[in-house]
Chains A and B, each alone.
Chain A
Amino acid sequence: MTDTILSFADARLTLDGNAGRVDILRGITLDVARGETLGLVGPSGSGKSSLLMLMGGLERATGGSVTVLGRDLTALGEDALARFRRDHMGVVFQSFHLVPTMTALENVATPLELAGHRDAFDRARAELETVGLSARAGHYPSQLSGGEQQRVALARAAAPRPDILLADEPTGNLDGATGQAIMDLLFGLRDRHGSTLILVTHAPELADRCDRVVRLEDGRIAPADMARAAE
Chain B
Amino acid sequence: MSLGIAARIARRELRGGLRGFRVFLACLALGIAAIAAVGTVRESIEAGLQREGATLLGGDAEVQFTYRFAEPEERAFLDSIATEVAEVVDFRSMAVVGEGDERDRGLTQVKAVDGVYPIYGAVTLAPEMTLAEALDGTGGLPGAVMDPVLIDRLGLSVGETFRLGTQSFVLSAALEREPDDGGGGFELGPRTLVRTSALSESGLLVPGTLYETEYRLRVPPGADLDALEAQADAVLDETGFRWRDRRNGAPGVSEFVDRLSAFLVLVGLAGLAVGGVGVAAAVRAHLDGKTGTIAVLKTLGAEGRTIFEVYLIQVGVLALVGVVLGVSLGAGLPLLFSPVIAAQLPVPADFGLHAAPLAQAALYGLLAAAIFTLWPLARTREVRAAALFRDIGGLRVTPHPGTLAVIAGLVVLLVGLAAWLSGLPELTLWAAAGLSAAFVVLLGAAWLVRRVARRLARARVVQGRSALRLALGAVGGPGGEATSVVLSLGLGLSVLAAIGQIDTNLRSAISRDLPEVAPAFFMVDIQPDQIDGFRERLDTDPAVSRVETAPMLRGIITRINDRPADEVAGDHWVLQGDRGVTYSDRPGDDTTITAGEWWPEAYDGPPQISFAAEEAAELGVSLGDTLTINILGRDITGEITSFREVDFSTAGIGFVLAMNPAALRGAPHTYISTIYAEPQAEAAILRDISDTYPNITAIRVRDAIDRVSEVLAGVAAAVTYGAMATLVTGAVVLIGAAAAGERARTYEAAILKTVGAGRRRILTSFALRSALLGAAAGVVAVAAGGGAGWAVSRFVMETEFRFAPLSALAIVVGGVLLTLAAGLVFAWRPLAARPASILRARE
Chain A residues at the B interface, C-beta cutoff of 8 Å: 15, 49, 53, 56-59, 78-79, 81-83, 85-87, 91, 93, 97-102, 106, 110-111, 113-116, 156, 168
Contacts and interface: CB of A to CB of B under 8 A. Distances in A.
B299 A56 contact: yes
B292 interface: yes
B298 interface: yes
B5 A113 contact: yes
Given A58-B385, A78-B384, A82-B302, 13 more contacts: A53-B386, A53-B389, A79-B304, A82-B303, A93-B388, A93-B389, A99-B296, A100-B293, A101-B15, A102-B12, A106-B12, A110-B9, A111-B300
Interface string B373-397: 0000000000011101110000000
Contacts of B293: 99-101
Contact of A82 (B13, B14, B16, B298): B298
B301 A86 contact: yes
A59 B299 contact: no
Contacts of A111: 300-301
Contacts of A115: 301
A105 to B, nearest CB: 11
5 contacts: A56-B299, A87-B301, A110-B297, A110-B300, A111-B300
A83 B13 CA distance: 22
A98 B292 CA distance: 9
Contacts of A79: 303-305
A93 B388 CA distance: 9
Contacts, number: 79
Q: Is the interface of B mostly helix, strand, loop or mixed?
A: helix
Nearest to B294: A99
Nearest to A110: B300
B780 to A, nearest CB: 31
A85 B301 contact: yes
Contact of A101 (B16, B300, B305, B389): B16
A81 B1 CA distance: 19
A192 B15 CA distance: 35
A64 B389 CA distance: 22
A141 B306 CA distance: 23
B306 A78 contact: no
B8 interface: yes
A97 B1 contact: no
B353 to A, nearest CB: 37
Nearest to B382: A78
Contacts of B299: 56, 58, 85, 91, 97
B664 to A, nearest CB: 82
A113 B9 CA distance: 10
Contacts of A98: 296
A66 B170 CA distance: 107
Contacts of B297: 99, 110, 114
B385 A114 contact: no
B288 to A, nearest CB: 15
B403 to A, nearest CB: 15
A97 B301 CA distance: 14
A62 to B, nearest CB: 13
Contacts of A58: 299, 384-386, 388
Nearest to A59: B386
A86 B385 CA distance: 13
Please give me the 8 A-B residue pairs with the lowest Cβ-Cβ distance, nearest first: A86-B301, A58-B385, A111-B300, A79-B303, A101-B16, A101-B15, A114-B301, A102-B12
B303 A83 contact: yes
Nearest to B16: A101
Nearest to B383: A78
A168 B16 CA distance: 27
Contacts of B5: 113-114
Nearest to B385: A58
A139 to B, nearest CB: 13
The residue in B1, B297, B306, B385 that gathers the most chain A C-beta atoms within 10 A of its C-beta is B385
A114 B386 contact: no
Contacts of B389: 49, 53, 93, 168
Nearest to A160: B301
Interface string B269-305: 0000000000000000000000011011111111111
B13 A86 contact: no
Contacts of B8: 113
Given A101-B12, A101-B15, A86 B388 contact: no
A82 B292 contact: no
B653 to A, nearest CB: 75
Contacts of A53: 385-386, 389
A219 to B, nearest CB: 15
A100 B289 CA distance: 12
B12 A114 contact: no
Contacts of B386: 53, 58-59
B396 to A, nearest CB: 14
Contacts of A113: 5, 8-9
Nearest to A168: B389
Contacts of B12: 99, 101-102, 106
B226 to A, nearest CB: 62
Given A101-B13, A110-B9, A116-B1, A78 B304 contact: yes
A113 B3 CA distance: 12
Nearest to B292: A97
A79 B302 CA distance: 8
| Residue from the set A15, A101, A106, A168 with the largest chain B CB neighbour count within 10 Å | A101
A79 B382 CA distance: 10
Contacts of B14: 101
A82 B386 CA distance: 12
Contacts of A99: 12-13, 293, 296-297
A58 B384 CA distance: 7
A85 B388 contact: no
Contacts of A82: 298, 301-304, 385
A88 to B, nearest CB: 9
Contacts of A87: 301
B292 A83 contact: no
B393 to A, nearest CB: 10
A59 to B, nearest CB: 5
A27 B327 CA distance: 61
A107 B5 CA distance: 13
Nearest to A93: B388
Q: Which residue of A87, A99, A111, A116 has the most chain B CB atoms within 10 A of its CB atom?
A: A99
A44 to B, nearest CB: 13
Interface in B298-323: 298-306
B1 A86 contact: no
A111 B306 CA distance: 12
A83 B16 CA distance: 27
A98 B297 CA distance: 10
A93 B297 CA distance: 13
A91 B280 CA distance: 33
A97 B16 contact: no
A59 B387 CA distance: 9
Contacts of A81: 385
Nearest to B299: A91
A85 B13 CA distance: 22
A76 B778 CA distance: 50
Given A91-B299, A97-B299, A114 B306 contact: yes
A45 to B, nearest CB: 13
A139 B448 CA distance: 49
B296 A97 contact: yes
A59 B299 CA distance: 11
Nearest to B300: A111
Residue from A57, A58, A91, A98 having most chain B Cβ neighbours under 10 A: A58
A116 B302 CA distance: 11
A87 B301 CA distance: 8
A20 B293 CA distance: 28
B638 to A, nearest CB: 76
A168 B389 CA distance: 10
Contacts of A56: 299, 385
Contact of A100 (B16, B298, B388): B16
Contacts of B388: 58, 93, 97
